[in-house]
């Protein structure tokens, strides 16, 4: 009995860490994997999703619709950003990082000016349940399922839809795809919107669990970056296994020494992994290692 509660507790913490890593990273991973662009404003897209979700819930919508609204608004903002800034910088990846960092500064400070230093949160739904001596939030289980759902949906999107086929063609050989009549610019725009929307979804899903402040994106980005660096360019072969491995590191370190050491564990893991597998897990799996 006692062992069973411990096992459940460990699994729960693993699931929680896995959901956080995968949900915060998948938007970044889609954009990086498809376009080679690192979006440093990723955290601000998450913030945008969380704020829109909270605002719509305050306006009376149920939470799932609010999360949907957050996702859609983030995706639309993503389209605008792509058209205005990212589109001009595809051949300069380092400059994209710098430009998106500028956007992140604008978004954080702009939100602070317009909305204020904090926004009323949304209560965590579903309550909790008891296993052994500890009580667990049901919503965390929902988040874990949502992470699995997002991975499944992305797999379906990129493998079974026309958009997915065109998008994969565009990453592999952009010139060839363009020569065959694929509107690669449109594909890039849609991919960026997809990544931004996923960030908004992560923000919406986590909006009920955290305080809404303009700098909340920063709590996500480190985990997102670490997952993408370790995972490499492929969402399924990279982000998902990286999320799994890092979730073990994080949950073990966190239960051993506290939250901060969970994050330090992630950082040490990433520094060691880049030394051993420079192209991440997916690069290793795809034998691109050179």
Partner 1 sequence: MTGFLSLFRRLEGPQTVGRGPGFWSLFALVLAVALAYPLFSDGYTVGNTVYFFVWVFIALSLCVIWGYGGSLSFGQTAFFGIAGYGYGVLTINFGSAYGFTLLALVIAVAIAALVAVLLGYFMFFGRIAGVFLGIVTLAVTLMLERFMAQTAGPEWHIGSARLNGFNGMSAMPPLTIPWPGEPIVLFADVGLYYLVLGLLVFVYLALRILMNSSFGNIIVAIRENPERAEMLGYDVRKYQLITFVIGAALAGLSGVLYTVWGQYITPSSMGMTAAALPLIWVAVGGRSDLTSTVIGTLVVLAAFQALTIYGSQYALVFMGVLLVLTVLIAPNGLVLGVMNWLGRIATRLTQRAG
Binding mask 264-283 for partner 1 (x = CB under 8 A): x--x--xxx-xxx-x-----
Nearer to partner 1, 40 or 237 (CB): 40
If phi over 0 gives left and psi between -120 and 50 gives alpha, with beta otherwise, what is residue 59?
alpha
Q: If binding is defined by CB under 8 A, does position 260 make contact with partner 1?
A: yes
- Alpha helices for the chain (secondary structure H): 2-35, 42-58, 63-84, 93-115, 138-160, 162-172, 174-179, 184-206, 217-231, 240-257, 259-276, 280-285
Please select the residue that binds partner 1; options are 4, 7, 109, 125, rule is CB under 8 A.
Answer: 109
Nearer to partner 1, 110 or 125 (CB): 110
Q: If binding is defined by CB under 8 A, does position 226 make contact with partner 1?
A: yes
Provide, rounded to whole angstroms, the least separation between the CB of residue 39 and partner 1.
Answer: 11
- Quick one: which segment of 98-106, 119-127, 130-138, 185-193 binds partner 1 (CB under 8 A)? 98-106
CB 161 within 8 A of CB 35: no
Structure tokens at 17: 């860490």
> What's phi and psi for 136, nearest 5 deg?
-125, 145
Provide, rounded to whole angstroms, the least separation between the CB of residue 24 and partner 1.
Answer: 13
- Quick one: which segment of 13-21, 138-146, 182-190, 258-266 binds partner 1 (CB under 8 A)? 258-266
Size (the chain), residues? 290
CB 207 within 8 A of CB 258: no
What is d(CA 31, CA 93) in angstroms, rounded to the nearest whole number? 12
Please select the residue that binds partner 1; options are 115, 148, 222, 285, rule is CB under 8 A.
Answer: 222
- Quick one: which segment of 9-17, 107-115, 203-211, 235-243 binds partner 1 (CB under 8 A)? 107-115
Binding mask 31-70 for partner 1 (x = CB under 8 A): -x---x-x--------------------------------
- Quick one: which segment of 96-104, 158-166, 183-191, 244-252 binds partner 1 (CB under 8 A)? 96-104
Q: If binding is defined by CB under 8 A, does position 97 make contact with partner 1?
A: yes
Nearest to residue 218, comparing CAs of 105, 140, 122?
105
Nearer to partner 1, 244 or 278 (CB): 278
- The burial of 59, by beta-carbon neighbours within 10 Å (0-12 exposed, 13-18 middle, 19 or more buried), is given as exposed
End-to-end Cα distance, the chain: 50
Q: Which residues, at least 6 apart from 124, have a Cβ–Cβ distance to it below 8 Å?
A: 137, 139, 208, 209
Please select the residue that binds partner 1; options are 65, 95, 160, 176, rule is CB under 8 A.
Answer: 95
CB 33 within 8 A of CB 171: yes
Residues lying near partner 1 in the complex (CB under 8 A) are found at 32, 36, 38, 85, 88-89, 92-95, 97-99, 101-106, 108-110, 112-113, 215, 218, 221-222, 225-226, 228-229, 260, 263-264, 267, 270-272, 274-276, 278
């Amino acid at each position: 009995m006692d062992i069973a509660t411990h096992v459940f507790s460990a699994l729960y913490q693993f699931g929680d860490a896995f959901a956080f890593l995968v949900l915060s990273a998948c938007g970044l991973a889609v954009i990086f994997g498809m376009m080679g662009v690192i979006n440093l404003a990723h955290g601000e897209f998450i913030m945008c999703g969380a704020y829109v979700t909270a605002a719509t819930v305050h306006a009376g919508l149920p939470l799932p619709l609010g999360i949907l609204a957050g996702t859609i608004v983030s995706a639309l903002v993503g389209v605008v950003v792509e058209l205005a800034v990212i589109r001009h910088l595809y051949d300069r990846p380092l400059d994209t990082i710098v430009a998106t960092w500028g956007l992140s500064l604008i978004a954080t400070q702009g939100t602070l000016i317009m909305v204020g230093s904090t926004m009323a949160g949304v209560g965590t739904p579903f309550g909790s349940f008891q296993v052994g001596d500890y009580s667990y939030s049901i919503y965390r289980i929902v988040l874990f399922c949502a992470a699995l759902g997002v991975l499944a949906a992305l797999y379906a999107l990129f493998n079974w839809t026309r958009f997915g086929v065109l998008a994969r063609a565009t990453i592999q050989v952009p010139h060839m795809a363009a020569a065959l009549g694929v509107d690669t610019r449109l594909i890039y725009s849609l991919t960026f919107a997809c990544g931004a929307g996923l960030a908004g979804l992560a923000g919406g899903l986590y909006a009920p669990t955290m305080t809404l402040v303009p700098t909340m994106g920063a709590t996500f980005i480190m985990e997102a970056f670490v997952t993408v660096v370790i995972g490499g360019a492929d969402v399924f072969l990279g982000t998902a296994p990286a999320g799994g491995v890092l979730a073990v590191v994080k949950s073990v370190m966190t239960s051993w020494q506290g939250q901060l050491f969970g994050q330090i564990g992630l950082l040490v893991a990433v520094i060691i992994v880049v030394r051993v597998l420079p192209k991440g897990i997916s690069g290793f799996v795809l034998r691109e290692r050179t």
